[in-house]
Amino acid sequence: MPIYETSDLQIFERQGLKVERAPDGGIRVFQPPGERNALGQIRFNFPNKFLVYQHDTPERHYFAQDWRAYSHGCMRVQDPYKYAEVLLSYAAPRANHTSDSIKRMLGGEEKQIDFATHIPVHITYQTAFVDDSGKLQMREDIYGLDAKLASILKGTERQVADVVIERPADPNFKPAPEQGQRLNHAARGSISSPFALFEQLFR
């Protein structure tokens, strides 16, 4: 890692960063909790291999714009305290968390609230949807995924259907005695409906 020299000793402080000496002798640069933190006052973690999470933001003016793809992968939450209240009403209902009680927990140290009940998280990417009035809504394909999907759908692989390959019967197969009796009984009995055979086999 390259080392840069600077005569500006306040550069980290102006960025809201702190510098500490780590126990192993290395240097630790971090941004403490607070209003200046790039993640805002609250963060919502969920398991994923990309270290993506949902979070508050001090840059609240972005929510007034139609274009929202300013983040670096994580997702900004417009009303994080109400969002937390709703999530906790399902995940930890006995704690009776509210937006106000969550705000009162804020301070100079990190506090973690674990969910007693896990809530599944599904992230989807949609450029077309039907709104409540039944009208088709289209959005810009900012990641270029629609073109890739269309190319796959129109590709040559889609023009060939899967052909079922008939396999010969296994010569080593021997039905169990009980199964054989059921087969014989079904063969001797009259089949009054298309499902009678299955009823005899699996009753």
Among the ranges given (3-12, 30-39, 122-131), the one the predictor scored with the smallest mean pLDDT: 3-12
Mind listing the pLDDT tens digit for each residue in 61-101? Answer: 888 887 777 776 788 899 999 999 999 999 988 889 999 99
Residues 6 or more apart whose CB falls under 8 angstroms from that of 168 comprise none
Nearest to 74, CA basis, from 57, 56, 58, 52? 52
Residue given tokens 């674990």 in the structure block:
114
Mean pLDDT of 186-202: 48
The alpha carbon of residue 134 and the mean position of all alpha carbons in its chain are separated, in whole angstroms, by: 27
Neighbours of 57 (CB within 10 A): 21
Mean pLDDT of the chain: 78
Query: With contact defined as beta carbons under 8 Å apart, do 16 and 4 qualify?
Result: no
Query: Considering its fold, how many domains does the chain have in total?
Result: 1
- Tell whether 79 is covered by a domain: yes
Rounded to two decimals, the pTM is: 0.60
> What pLDDT was estimated at residue 161?
59
Examine the residue annotation and report whether 72 is marked as an active-site residue of this protein: no
> What pLDDT was estimated at residue 191?
46
- Tell whether 11 is covered by a domain: no
Residue given tokens 């089949």 in the structure block:
191
Examine the residue annotation and report whether 118 is marked as an active-site residue of this protein: no
Q: Domain residues for 110?
A: 34-142
- Tell whether 38 is covered by a domain: yes
Mind listing the pLDDT tens digit for each residue in 144-171? Answer: 899 888 888 887 766 665 666 667 777 7
> 88-113 in b/e burial notation, b at 16+ Cβ within 10 A?
beebeeeeebeeeebeeeeeeeeeeb
Among the ranges given (7-11, 31-35, 115-119), the one the predictor scored with the smallest mean pLDDT: 7-11
Active-site residue identified among 74, 118, 122, 185: 74
- Tell whether 203 is covered by a domain: no
